[in-house]
Amino acid sequence: MSRAAQDEPKRDAPHDSAPGARADESRKLVRRLGLFDVTMLVMGGIVGSGIFMNPSVVAARVHTPALMLAAWAVGGAVALTGALVYAELAARLPEVGGQYAYLREAFHPSVAFLYGWALLLVVQTGGMAAVAVTFARYFLELTHAPASDWLIAALALGVLTVINCLGVRAGGTVQSALMVLKIGAIIALVACGIIFAGARGATLDPILDRPASLDLLTAFGAALTPVMFAYGGWQTSGFVAGEMRDPRRDLTRGLIFGVVGVVACYLAVSYVCVGALGARGLAASSAPASDVMRLALGETGAKLIAAGIAVSTLGFLAQGMLTAPRVYFAMADDRLFFPWVARVSNSTRVPVVAIVLQGVFAILIAASKRYDQILSYVVSVDFIFFGLTGLSLFVFRRRAPRLEKSPGARDDASVSRSDEAPGFRVPGHPVTTALFVAACWLVVAATIYKNFSDSARGLLLLASGVPAYFIFRSWQRRNHP
């Protein structure tokens, strides 16, 4: 029996063979998402406003087109490696909650709880609040509506909350439609940059902006920081594994297809920005995508890309509103959170309480106008759990040989499905998985080193989940012995 199986709160036995199913029909989700939905979820979780802004941040840290494109390529390789790790984890444990379930089964329910705790308090909700305000600012720039940015942000979050309460199909359709529009905006930016702004004249010579040295390596590492953040988000698609028609197949394929698609888009945008603006012009730009479109089509182009960025941020919000509430649902379903959070609507079959809870938290953070400060607290926390999730694959792989030697082990209900042979395996494991874990924890180390006080606040926030876990665990033991 695994350590997680020994220590986790008692859960109802599955009433069918579907992963994540529970005997209590009032808590059962429905499987309505297919491969296209999953691929759009993966891409929608990654593509927000970062790719339209961050090329200039990268250009300010490394100063040749070759190094800029190399930073986006390396970041894409790390993201793809992470997606491959999560693809195998999804094949082993295609349950609602995704990363939450991997941490629970590999280590201990307390580790999974701390992840969900941080996700609800700031990681997900703080990120959504910040993106919602970004959407509001572009919306107001385009419409000149007489309203404050936090009010528009709150309205956007409220509308998406309502849409997702109508059902996973409604939420998935809106998210997929917005992702298609995002892809259209990226294609338009690339095409206009090449055809009208002279981006096809970009040269990769010289390759280095300084002699090969520790200084060059440090600068390249600094350039990778905004790149890594721009590639983040693909892991959230696993949160809705319990609502996918065939999660073992579709989630693994969707992760790979989605990340590869985003890498191609990001490299194309980076190439167009440096080609149209030049290395120095890109480094000096505060809004490179807008500058490229202004160069190509004048002020009309700038307005068009502003509309595209607004749609992109709204799509990111739609993806977050669809996926993350399933983690809080899983926590409550494990009896590690308020039981009413696990309630599923009889008509729409979605966890409406969890969805509303996230929407309310995000709106409160947006209204507080402290989202930027809150986000700076949790960068290190988020990547700690990325690294732990990568390590969970080593745990599952180590358990599997013992099961194969014990013919009766698979009949033991206490044995996690994560220990069964998956339909997908990470190429190059353990080297590729170890590199992914190392990359995540290097980001943690760099963040703590550069922003010690903010990181310390984030770690204290995470630590506040420890007493909360024991409170919920004590409640569970008293009410469900």
Across the range 257-274, mean pLDDT stands at 94
What pLDDT does 16 receive?
Answer: 38
Look at residue 422 and tell me whether its pLDDT is greater than 90.
no
Q: Which CATH topology does 29-402+410-475 take?
A: Amino acid/polyamine transporter I (1.20.1740)
Query: Which of 187-196, 241-250, 258-267, 322-331 is the least confident region?
Result: 241-250
Question: Which pLDDT value is given to residue 50?
Answer: 83
Whether residue 317 has pLDDT greater than 80 = yes
Q: Over range 407-414, report the average pLDDT.
A: 41
Identity of the highest mean pLDDT range in 23-32, 215-224, 253-262, 366-375:
253-262
- Mean pLDDT within 4-25: 42
Q: What average pLDDT does this structure show over 286-297? A: 91
Is pLDDT of 376 > 80? Answer: no
Q: Identify the residue whose tokens are 């953040």.
A: 229
Q: Quick one: pLDDT band at residue 421, thresholds 50, 70, 90?
A: low
Q: Which pair of tokens denotes residue 191?
A: 């095409």
Name the pLDDT band for 418 (thresholds 50, 70, 90): low
Whether the per-residue pLDDT at 410 is higher than 90: the answer is: no
Tell me the residue type at 357.
Answer: L
More confident residue, 232 or 200: 232
- pLDDT tens figures, 63-75: 899 999 999 999 9
What's the CA gap between 43 and 39, in Å, rounded? 6
pTM of the shown model: 0.83
Reference 275, options 334, 203, 346, 223; nearest CA is 203
Q: Which of the given ranges, 229-238, 242-251, 350-359, has the highest pLDDT on average?
A: 350-359
Mean pLDDT, range 261-279, rounded to an integer:
93
SS3 state at 33:
strand
What digits encode the pLDDT tens for the residues 435-475?
999 988 888 887 787 778 888 888 888 999 999 999 999 88
> What's the N-to-C CA distance of the chain in angstroms?
20
What's the pLDDT band for 481 if we cut at 50, 70, 90?
Answer: low
| Position 33 pLDDT exceeds 90 | no
Q: What is the mean pLDDT of residues 275-282?
A: 90
As a whole number, mean pLDDT of residues 97-125 equals: 93
Closest of 263, 271, 218 to residue 442, by C-alpha: 218
Query: Where do the structural domains in the chain lie, given as residue ranges?
Result: 29-402+410-475
Structure tokens at 225: 């920081």
Whole-number Cα distances in Å, 128 to 92, 344, 370, 418: 29, 23, 12, 31
Confidence check: pLDDT of 408 > 60: no
Give the pLDDT mean for 367-381.
73
